[in-house]
């Protein structure tokens, strides 16, 4: 090599430093352009109640959708509560479409009780990503998009149109988000034939799938009675009457729980009743006035019904046993959703041969290398119930196996390997459901 060539190809110290900095920057950028990085970014957007930030996550999700050539539009049925709809057109748009749903919001977190800040999305050396919403349910939002990115990269074209919906306020009932959307003209125009919504983690090697939710009632029972000196005994005092009711409710709760403990039912198949608050007494600077009997007392209960429960029978029980007027008692029931669809049927999606979507979904899981546990009723409530109320088949599913169930818990996390495996699972699910042509209408 002559001297001219040496001079031409050598780098000055300053140039070398700049080259190295640019190289490091490029590697760093590449590392940010990954499914895991996008998941962490999404988790860092604080969408916790009572003041969820919806603007940032909607903008972020739109940017991902547009980067892979998907159409995105937003609707606001209630101010400041956007519904984002992402669409992947099918080759035969006359067929009923399918929707993959997730919610933007999350429950609050108590930072002092977490190992890592709840909106930092810290990824520990073992691959655990800690963040509020890691399981419930920001994981599936990104997995949907990444699965479509991979399918498009293989030039897959869906037969049915595929929609992704990202809705607000699920954690406080979904009435301003999913309920409004499902009841809208925009939803009607989508001609939806099937919905897949969130599920829960599985602690073993089976994936869980849910064919129904339990419906909640918020029940408040109030008692009144004569006030008076704390040294006297009264019949039908407010606290006495309320305590009798609490004892009656506790016996009912125990009867339901006994069936679970005996293996005759799982929790989601019984009516659960949990006390939420007790309010009584006359406040004082040091606590409560102890020598006065209060004239009013009330208690609140969270009651959850499986879809086959008899709501009329429960209302009768509350009227006659839990809060009888003969004991100076009243009650209020706030029904947080319906137990029946628009045709009067239980809000249940079939998991047998009567539902062709079930067979396609199950085969997609098997094709991905996974296996399904026995279908379940979800113990809690999701936005899938609004679709079921219209008679649209809907399952709850989140591909998280060998994972502790940490939704609404401290230190909620998801392993990176579980998240990435879930993308592959959704590739099979989206590919199979969107290619299915035998069902032409609801």
Neighbours of 355 (CB within 10 A): 17
Catalytic residue flag (residue 170): yes
How far is Cα 278 from Cα 68, in angstroms, rounded to an integer? 52
Does the annotation list 198 as a binding residue? yes
How far is Cα 434 from Cα 144, in angstroms, rounded to an integer? 13
How far is Cα 316 from Cα 230, in angstroms, rounded to an integer? 34
Q: Which two tokens stand for residue 86?
A: 């992402």
Strand 97-103: give its sheet, edge to edge: 71-76, 82-88, 162-167, 97-103, 192-197, 394-397, 209-213, 376-378
Does the annotation list 103 as a binding residue? yes
Residue 50 preceded by cis peptide, ω within 30 = yes
Residues 129, 123 contacting (CB under 8 angstroms): yes
Residues 187, 77 contacting (CB under 8 angstroms): no
Does the annotation list 136 as a binding residue? yes
User: Which position among 137, 169, 170, 197 bears the catalytic label?
Assistant: 170
User: Which position among 105, 169, 197, 421 bears the catalytic label?
Assistant: 105
Residue 88 CB partners (closer than 8 Å, separation 6+)? 70, 148, 158, 161, 162, 163, 164
Catalytic residue flag (residue 302): no
Provide the annotated binding site for Zn(2+): 103, 136, 171, 198, 408
Active-site residue set: 105, 170
Binding residue numbers: 103, 136, 171, 198, 408
């Amino acid at each position: 090599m002559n001297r001219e060539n040496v001079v031409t190809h050598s780098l000055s110290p300053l140039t070398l430093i700049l080259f190295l900095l640019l190289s490091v920057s490029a590697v760093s950028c590449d590392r940010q352009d990954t499914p895991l990085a996008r998941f962490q970014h999404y988790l860092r957007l604080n969408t916790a109640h009572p003041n969820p930030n919806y603007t940032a996550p909607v903008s972020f999700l739109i940017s991902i959708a547009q980067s892979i050539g998907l159409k995105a539009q937003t609707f606001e049925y209630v101010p400041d509560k956007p519904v984002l709809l992402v669409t992947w057109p099918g080759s035969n748009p006359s067929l009923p479409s399918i929707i993959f749903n997730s919610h933007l919001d999350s429950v609050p977190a108590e930072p002092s009780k977490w190992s890592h800040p709840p909106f930092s999305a810290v990824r520990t050396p073992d691959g655990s990503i800690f963040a509020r919403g890691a399981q419930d349910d920001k994981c599936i939002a990104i997995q949907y998009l990444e699965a479509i990115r991979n399918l498009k990269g293989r030039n897959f074209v869906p037969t049915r149109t595929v929609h992704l919906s990202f809705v607000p306020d699920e954690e406080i009932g979904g009435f301003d988000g999913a309920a409004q959307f499902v009841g809208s003209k925009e939803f009607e125009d989508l001609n939806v034939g099937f919905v897949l919504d969130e599920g829960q983690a599985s602690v073993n090697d089976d994936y869980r799938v849910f064919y129904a939710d339990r419906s909640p009632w918020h029940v408040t029972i109030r008692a009144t009675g004569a006030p008076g000196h704390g040294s006297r005994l009264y019949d039908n005092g407010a606290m006495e009457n309320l305590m009798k009711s609490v004892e009656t409710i506790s016996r009912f709760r125990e009867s339901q729980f006994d069936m679970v403990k005996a293996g005759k039912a799982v929790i989601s198949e019984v009516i659960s009743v949990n006390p939420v608050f007790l309010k009584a007494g006359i406040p004082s600077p040091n606590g409560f006035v102890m020598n006065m009997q209060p004239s009013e007392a009330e208690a609140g209960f969270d009651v959850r019904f499986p879809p086959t429960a008899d709501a009329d029978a429960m209302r009768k029980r509350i009227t006659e046993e839990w809060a009888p007027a003969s004991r100076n008692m009243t009650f209020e029931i706030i029904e947080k959703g319906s137990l029946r669809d628009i045709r009067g049927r239980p809000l249940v999606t079939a998991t047998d041969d009567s539902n062709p979507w079930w067979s396609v979904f199950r085969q997609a899981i098997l094709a991905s290398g996974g296996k399904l546990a026995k279908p379940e009723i979800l113990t809690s409530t999701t936005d899938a119930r609004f679709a079921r109320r219209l008679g649209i088949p809907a399952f709850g599913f989140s591909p998280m196996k060998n994972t502790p169930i940490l939704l609404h818990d401290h230190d909620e996390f998801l392993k990176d390997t579980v998240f990435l495996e879930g993308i592959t699972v959704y590739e099979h699910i989206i590919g199979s459901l969107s290619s299915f042509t035998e069902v032409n209408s609801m």
